Every structure is written in C-alpha cells, then in structure tokens.
C-alpha cells in the first residue's frame, strides 16, 4: 500500500519557522520526484517545491518565486523521507500542505502541473500576522 504521510504543520506567527516532513512507503521512493503542494481556502492547489534525486549524481530542485530564499526542500532516499524547511513564514503561506510523488513532474505554472502519481495526507500551516 502506497502511503505518503505529511506532518509538522502548526500555528505560528509571521517570521517564524516550521519544518514539514513526508514519510513515504509502498513504492520506490528513490525513483520518484517528491513535491510539496499547498492549497489555501478558495484557491487552486499549487506546487510549492519539488526535488528530483532519481538520477545518480544529479539533483534538481524547483521553488515557486513566492518561497525562494525562505523555503528549503530536502530528501533522504535511504530513509524514504522528504522535508520542507519553511523560514520567515508569512500569512499568505497559510494553507494545507501536501506531499506528493511522481516519476516525472512537470510544472507549467504553479497551479498547472502534471505527473503526480501519489498524494499524501495534508498538514495545516497557519501563519498569523
């Protein structure tokens, strides 16, 4: 059974940090791109970041402009886990955050993407001003 379990969300004040974790099982994690999405009330789900470590000696990382310099994605293929370190959080970062995986992820714009095979549970991030 494929599982992607996200955790680490919470309620913080603007400027504070959170570290989200995604634990995967049931599929070959190392062969997949791992992504973080978020969905705020009334808005489309958008990709936040992804990391591709499926190729030997190669790592590709993507961030949307809104989080560049504030968020850092990482993954550990040996532990089947991924993390999203979120610093200097802003109220507009408030959303449910989901981890997801796919062999090939394509992002046209943050709200237009494809290639996701597996979705994980969400974790709520709330940033107060």
Return all residues near 40 (Cβ < 8 A) that are at least 6 apart.
94, 95, 96
**Predicted confidence (pLDDT) at residue 20 exceeds the cutoff of 90:** yes
Cβ neighbours of 92 (radius 10 Å): 11
CA atoms within 13 A on the CB side of 50: 23
Residue-wise pLDDT for 21-69, tens only, equals 999 999 988 899 999 999 999 999 999 999 998 888 889 999 999 999 9
Cβ neighbours of 59 (radius 10 Å): 11
Residue-wise pLDDT for 58-67, tens only, equals 899 999 999 9
């Amino acid at each position: 059974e494929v599982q992607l379990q996200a955790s680490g969300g919470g309620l913080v004040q603007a400027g504070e940090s959170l570290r989200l974790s995604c634990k995967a099982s049931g599929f070959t994690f190392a062969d997949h791109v791992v992504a973080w999405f978020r969905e705020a009330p009334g808005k489309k789900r958008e990709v936040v970041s992804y990391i591709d470590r499926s190729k030997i000696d190669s790592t590709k990382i993507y961030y949307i402009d809104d989080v560049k310099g504030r968020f850092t994605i990482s993954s550990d293929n040996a532990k089947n886990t991924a993390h999203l370190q979120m610093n200097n959080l802003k109220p507009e970062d408030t959303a449910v955050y989901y981890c997801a995986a796919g062999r090939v992820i394509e992002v046209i714009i943050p709200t237009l993407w494809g290639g996701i095979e597996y979705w994980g549970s969400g974790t709520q991030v709330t940033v107060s001003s």
